[in-house]
Amino acid sequence: MEDIQHTDDSTAKEARDLLQQHEVFQRTEAMLQIFNQNQLDAARAELQELEKTREKNLGKLQQQLDEVTSKVQVLQDELSVLQTYINDGQDKAEDMGKAVLEELEEKTRVEQEALLQKVLEEMLLHQDGLKQMVINNHVLRREILRQREIIKDLEEEIGELKRSIQTLRQSTRNPRELIFADVFLHRPK
């Protein structure tokens, strides 16, 4: 009988222990559910905050993109004006060079005619002055050579002007390279 009593007491004690463990487990489970719900609510709130921040940042980025696009358009317009100016400058330089050459050629022709006329007059006045005629011919040849050198120098200057204009054209850079210089410098080739 004592054994039965002892077994009943032992069984009752185990049952109480199991009930206590079950209660502890239920409380722990309830606390975990509350904890998980709080974590879920916090995560949702953080996600909403991140979405608001993302939309705000997207708005700023769109505004910056619009500003950069506007600047690129302005630079392209300025480049177009500059290229027109360069083209006009080259045309003007060529026209000016041609005009100077024509003026020098005309001046040379007039001087040659004047010298020839003077030589003829001297010859007519002093037919016996053959020596003077030789001297005048020599002077005339020297003047012609001098005028040719002047014309050659002017042609070289025109060539240099053309090369300078070509260099200026080649030195104008793409506006995208100007604006995004740091991107093009680090881009792999």
53-73 confidence digits (pLDDT tens):
888 888 888 888 888 888 888
- As a whole number, the mean pLDDT across the chain is 80
pLDDT confidence of residue 68: 84
- pTM (predicted TM-score): 0.32
Predicted confidence band of residue 82 (pLDDT cuts 50, 70, 90): confident
Q: Which tens digit of pLDDT belongs to each residue from 83-134?
A: 887 777 677 777 777 887 888 888 888 888 888 888 777 666 666 556 676 7
Query: So where are the chain's domains?
Result: 2-186
Q: Are 139 and 146 in contact (CB under 8 A)?
A: no
User: Residue 4 has what pLDDT?
Assistant: 80
**Distant-in-sequence, close-in-space partners of 147: CB < 8 Å, separation ≥ 6:** 104, 107, 108, 111
> Residue with structure tokens 């080259």?
90
**3-class SS letters over the chain:** CHHHHHHHHHHHHHHHHHHHHHHHHHHHHHHHHHHHHHHHHHHHHHHHHHHHHHHHHHHHHHHHHHHHHHHHHHHHHHHHHHHHHHHHHHHHHHHHHHHHHHHHHHHHHHHHHHHHHHHHHHHHHCCCCHHHHHHHHHHHHHHHHHHHHHHHHHHHHHHHHHHHHHHHHHHCCCHHHHHCHHHHHHCCC
Query: Tokens standing for 129?
Result: 């002055």
Give residue-wise pLDDT tens across range 131-175: 676 777 788 888 888 888 888 888 888 888 888 888 877 776 666
